[in-house]
């Protein structure tokens, strides 16, 4: 079946540290891949996306590359800030009768000063 | 600001009571969705509407009904609330470029 796996959290980093959150997927066909971010008390927001193999999505210093050969879409940021503390969800989208999106379980990130 | 608006933001119900969660989007999106978010369970799809006039069950539809009133509005109804329906509910809409989510309704059933 179709699924998304993310590294378990919580992840705690010091400010200015390098961030990697691993995401791998299983899907039939050629999905689009997304990272969403959820700040405390809010809904999810689209952070970045990639629609085909080798595409790199980027936004707010975050980036992720669609790796078809390893079925991965790892999220990276070179220098995290306290304001990046949130839950990050990896997701894939399949074109069926509707835009079916499958979310990973989420990874909680805390950045300490 | 364009987006998805959910009401109410918070609600406490007694077991057996009914209520409707409202959702409206102003982006002219065809597809709309209702999810619930529970600790350790991630996001689970309750119902979706691929276009105006159509609705379909998602992963966890039992105990819920939906109405796609028009292109803008997609409501979720709990006919007889149960403690297992205590959750945070999110509405979302999509036009093929990624979801736009509402800010959520935190529902407690006592």
Contacts (Cβ under 8 Å, ≥6 apart) of B38: B44, B87, B88
For chain B, give the mean pLDDT: 93
**Residues A38-75 pLDDT 10s:** 998 888 999 999 999 999 999 999 999 999 999 999 99
The answer for A 40-99 residues in CB contact with B (under 8 A) is 42-46, 49, 89, 93, 97-99
Residue A21 confidence (pLDDT): 97
Confidence category of residue A98, pLDDT binned at 50, 70, 90: low
Percent of chain A's residues with pLDDT above 90:
77
Q: What's the token pair of residue A57?
A: 């999505």
Work out the percent of chain A whose per-residue pLDDT is above 70.
Answer: 96
Å between B35 CA and nearest CA of chain A: 11
Q: pLDDT digit string (tens) for A28-38?
A: 888 999 999 99
Could you tell me if A104 lies within 8 Å of chain B, comparing CB atoms? yes
pLDDT, residue A101, reads: 85
Cα torsion angle, B45, B99, A95, B23, sign:
positive
CA distance A102 to A94: 8
Structure tokens at B74: 């997609």
Query: What span, in angstroms and rounded, lies between the C-alpha atoms of B94 and B97?
Result: 7
pLDDT at A110 over 70: yes
Side-chain-facing half-sphere of A107: CA atoms under 13 Å: 24
DSSP assignment string, B38-70: ETTTEEEEEEEESSTT--EE-S--TTEEEEE-S
C-alpha–C-alpha distance, residues A78 and A20, integer Å: 9
pLDDT at A28: 84
Residue B33's pLDDT is what? 96
What would the mean pLDDT of B46-51 be, rounded to a whole number? 93
């Amino acid at each position: 079946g179709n699924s998304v796996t993310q590294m378990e959290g919580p992840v705690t980093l010091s400010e200015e540290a390098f961030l990697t959150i691993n995401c791998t997927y299983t899907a039939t066909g050629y999905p689009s891949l997304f990272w969403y971010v959820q700040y405390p008390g809010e809904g999810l927001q689209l952070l970045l996306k990639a629609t085909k193999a080798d595409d790199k999505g980027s936004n707010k210093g975050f980036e992720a590359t669609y790796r078809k050969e390893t079925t991965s879409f790892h999220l990276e940021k070179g220098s995290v800030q306290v304001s990046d503390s949130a839950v990050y969800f990896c997701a894939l989208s399949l074109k069926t009768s509707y835009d079916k999106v499958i979310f990973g379980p989420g990874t909680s990130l805390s950045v300490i000063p | 600001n364009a987006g998805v608006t959910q009401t109410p933001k918070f609600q406490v119900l007694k077991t057996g009571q009914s209520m409707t969660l409202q959702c409206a989007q102003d982006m002219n999106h065809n597809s709309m969705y209702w999810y619930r978010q529970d600790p350790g369970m991630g996001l689970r799809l309750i119902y979706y509407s691929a276009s105006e006039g159509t609705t379909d069950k998602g992963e966890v539809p039992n105990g819920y009904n939906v109405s796609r009133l028009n292109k803008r509005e997609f409501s979720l109804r709990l006919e007889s609330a149960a403690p297992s329906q205590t959750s945070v509910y999110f509405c979302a809409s999509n036009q093929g470029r990624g979801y736009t989510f509402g800010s959520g309704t935190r529902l407690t059933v006592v």
